[in-house]
Amino acid sequence: GAVVSQHPSRVICKSGTSVKIECRSLDFQATTMFWYRQFPKQSLMLMATSNEGSKATYEQGVEKDKFLINHASLTLSTLTVTSAHPEDSSFYICSARIASGSSYNEQFFGPGTRLTVL
């Protein structure tokens, strides 16, 4: 399968700081990437859809000014959690969609970023 990386894998920060998470598709171009959040023992919750060169589309209830998404190239999307608070502590996972070829429309997930806000 295709490879998606995320950085950092784990981050601990103080309340009020901002944290940037990078998501890269390593061996394919991804016009569409997705950002999810997962709390312990719960399923994935889609936060937003990130399209290269355009504004992200946020799911209902997700604050776009708090979770800033930038998809500047076909292989990189970033999620910035601004003014993080303890309730933002979660497992953040990106996925990237393959837009062509035999794996058309399949989505591959990055390894995730575990955020802890003190």
Partner 1 sequence: QKEVEQNSGPLSVPEGAIASLNCTYSDRGSQSFFWYRQYSGKSPELIMSIYSNGDKEDGRFTAQLNKASQYVSLLIRDSQPSDSATYLCAGQMDSSYKLIFGSGTRLLVRP
In the complex, minimum distance from the CB of residue 81 to partner 1, in angstroms, rounded to a whole number? 18
**What part of residues 69-108 is at the interface with partner 1 (CB under 8 A)?**
93, 97, 103, 105-108
Compare residues 44 and 74 and give the one whose CB is closer to partner 1.
44
- Give residue for tokens 């312990």: 40
- Other CB atoms within 10 Å distance of the CB of residue 78: 19
Are the CB atoms for 107 and 25 separated by under 8 Å?
no
The angle formed by the CA atoms of residues 99, 101 and 102, to the nearest 5 degrees, is 120
What whole-number distance in Å separates Cα of residue 86 and Cα of residue 17?
11
Are the CB atoms for 116 and 12 separated by under 8 Å?
yes
Binding part of the chain for partner 1, among 17-25, 44-52, 68-76, 82-90 by CB under 8 A, reads: 44-52
Compare residues 10 and 17 and give the one whose CB is closer to partner 1.
10
In the complex, minimum distance from the CB of residue 79 to partner 1, in angstroms, rounded to a whole number? 14
- Residue 49 interacts with partner 1 (CB under 8 A)? yes
| Interface residue list for partner 1 (CB under 8 A) | 1, 32, 34, 43-44, 46, 49, 57, 93, 97, 103, 105-112
